[in-house]
Amino acid sequence: MTAASTKSGAVAFKAATPTVFIDGEAGTTGLEIRERLAGLDGLAVRSIDAAARKDPAARKALMAEVDLIVLCLPDDAARDAVALADSLGGDAPRIVDASTAHRVAEGWAYGFAELDAKQPDVIRQARHVANPGCYPTGAIALVRPLVDAGLMPADYPVTVNAVSGYSGGGRSMIEAYEAGSAPLFELYGLGLEHKHIPELMAFGRLTRRPIFVPSVGNFRQGMLVSIPLHLDTLPGKPSASDLEAALTTHYATAKQVTVQPAAAHKGRLDALALNDTDKLELFVFANDAHRQAVLVARLDNLGKGAAGAAVQNIGLMLGLGGA
């Protein structure tokens, strides 16, 4: 029996204990997900022999035996893996895709459980879930509540500045930094065509394309995402307290996302402070006299920005918790 909803609404699994296969487990995100799953009770992780990792027949056979697969693959390979899994028909496993291939694709649930009150149930019921990008996780977490509350119009000219540890940049970037051949800090994506923009717009509910300026620093993991605002350009000219209240209300019941008092940090934030956690912290820094504010999200790009979100989604989909 596949991992699908029965007539009673319960979820049936192929074995007594739900099973997961990480397709691409040898990569950075795959290793992080496997480490986190090892700490969960009531779940079994299946692996494929290293020699068969690129063998479609071997992968398909394993897919048929598990309840859920996690794709930690490049976009094109992820699309091929989805086609391979879906070719199993009634035996097809559920899917969490950590690539960017399906984040705005029709039929895919967006795996940011704190998006709104309905999203945990959307993820629980979904066959296919797209794990969010690390940068959009921070930006959407800041923008979406303000748009929903009417404090920011959908066509507001948003600018997102962000810095990430080099582990979010893929194998070549990781190798360059660890070999000492990369710069200490660099801006990139300056062609303003970054692949995360479509999901940022779709799930931030923005109709005007934001300016997104990512950067990478010479540290392995950690992330800060910041959005500057002129408060007098927003509808109703809200105060910083109004923005903070909207964020606090939105995340009042969230386990992993919290709104933190900015004053305690004296105008400074350490990008590495949440490393090795699945937390996401939000801040509203402001200067009331100048009517300016900077919204900031802090997270581990490998935690809530990748593996932590994937494990949260797996928990929801397999009935193990995780909201």
Instruction: Walk along the chain (323 residues) and give the pLDDT tens digit of each residue.
Output: 344 444 334 466 777 889 999 999 988 899 999 999 987 888 999 999 888 888 899 999 999 999 999 999 999 999 999 999 999 999 999 999 999 999 999 999 999 999 999 999 999 999 999 999 999 999 999 999 999 999 999 999 999 999 999 988 777 888 888 888 889 999 999 999 999 999 999 999 999 999 999 999 999 999 999 999 999 999 999 999 999 999 999 999 999 999 999 988 888 999 999 999 999 999 999 999 999 999 999 999 999 999 999 999 999 999 987 66
Judge whether 72 counts as a catalytic residue.
no
pTM of the model: 0.92
pLDDT of 4 reads 46
The residues of the chain that CATH labels 3.30.360.10 are 134-301
Spatial separation of the C-alpha atoms in residues 164 and 301, rounded to whole Å: 7
The correct answer on CATH 3.40.50.720 for the domain covering 4-132+306-317 is yes
Coil, strand or helix at 188: coil
Contact indicator for 225, 296 with CB cutoff of 8 Å: yes
Q: In one letter, which amino acid is 312?
A: Q
**Residue 65, both tokens:** 């035996």
Of 68, 193, 178, give the one whose Cα is nearest residue 131.
68
15-67 confidence digits (pLDDT tens): 788 999 999 998 889 999 999 998 788 899 999 988 888 889 999 999 999 99
- In the CATH hierarchy, which fold is given to the domain comprising 134-301? Dihydrodipicolinate Reductase; domain 2 (3.30.360)
Q: Which segments of the chain belong to CATH 3.40.50.720?
A: 4-132+306-317
Distance, CA of 167 to CA of 203 (rounded, Å): 25
| Active-site entry in 78, 101, 130, 134 | 134
The helix or strand, by DSSP H or E, that contains position 27, with its residue range, turns out to be none
- Average pLDDT value for the chain: 92
